[in-house]
Amino acid sequence: MSDHKTTHFGYQAVAEAEKAERVRGVFDSVATRYDLMNDLMSLGIHRLWKRFAVQLTGVRAGQRVLDLASGTGDLAARLAGLVGPEGTVVMSDINAAMLSRGRDRMLDDGRAGTVRYAQLDAEALPFPDGSFDCVTIGFGLRNVTHKERALAEMHRVLRPGGRALVLEFSHPTTAPLKAAYDLYSFQVLPRLGRLVASDEASYRYLAESIRMHPDQQTLKAMMEAAGFERCDVHNLTGGVVAVHRGFRL
């Protein structure tokens, strides 16, 4: 019998060592059309979800913020506006193609002085304990192989009084919405990916990865197990998306 541990990549069982590389391949494939697809998939509502999450951070001028799985920088750009020139936002991603697009966007937006960039693995953050006032991760935790490790690392790098926010697709709270969401996710979304990004498989993985992600209460319990206190959950669009927040006290 093999000793290799497995995890899920969408609905597939794969070796743990393979998942990060497969996820990297997905985002290499979709990087050039990522922002356009986000707008099309959510009818632009993703911007409201992100705005709400940033409001929950309570970030103020002069603070230090780590944004994990930054992608093309939607959260990081908003956070940079809050911390101002006296603060710092570290924009990070495991995927070089996504981080490069995000960096180009920040330069175009004139945010270069406030934002720093780091290609890193959320499971092993290269920062000392207590380095940040806030840590955020938007639509990235579901792609992490060992979510409990990433949550523990987020807790570790927060200073006392700091907070972490996880913005992620979640589980609809009503049966009719769940049925409609399933139909959209598995019938419409892959076709949209094929037509717009020439990549049906990556968007099928997206739908599957959402279904495999822990539900609201399970993720809250995982955050508490990682050491976070005063955890709360904010359902958006009927639970299609949720913001989880926890504090290091």
- Given a cut of 90, whether residue 26 has pLDDT beyond it is no
Global pTM?
Answer: 0.92
The per-residue pLDDT for range 123-140, each reduced to its tens digit, is 999 999 999 999 999 999
State whether residue 58 is helix, strand or coil: coil
The per-residue pLDDT for range 190-211, each reduced to its tens digit, is 998 898 888 898 889 989 999 9
Closest-CA residue to 75 (of 111, 40, 42, 41): 111
- Given a cut of 70, whether residue 1 has pLDDT beyond it is no
How far, in Å, CA of 137 to CA of 152, rounded? Answer: 13
Q: Can you give the residue ranges of every domain in the chain?
A: 19-172+206-247
Largest CA-CA distance found in the chain, in angstroms, rounded: 56
How far, in Å, CA of 123 to CA of 152, rounded? Answer: 8
Cβ atoms of residues 36 and 44 within 8 Å? no
Closest-CA residue to 150 (of 210, 79, 94): 94
As assigned by CATH, the class of the 19-172+206-247 domain is alpha beta
pLDDT band at 41 (very low <50, low <70, confident <90, very high): confident
How far, in Å, CA of 37 to CA of 21, rounded? Answer: 22
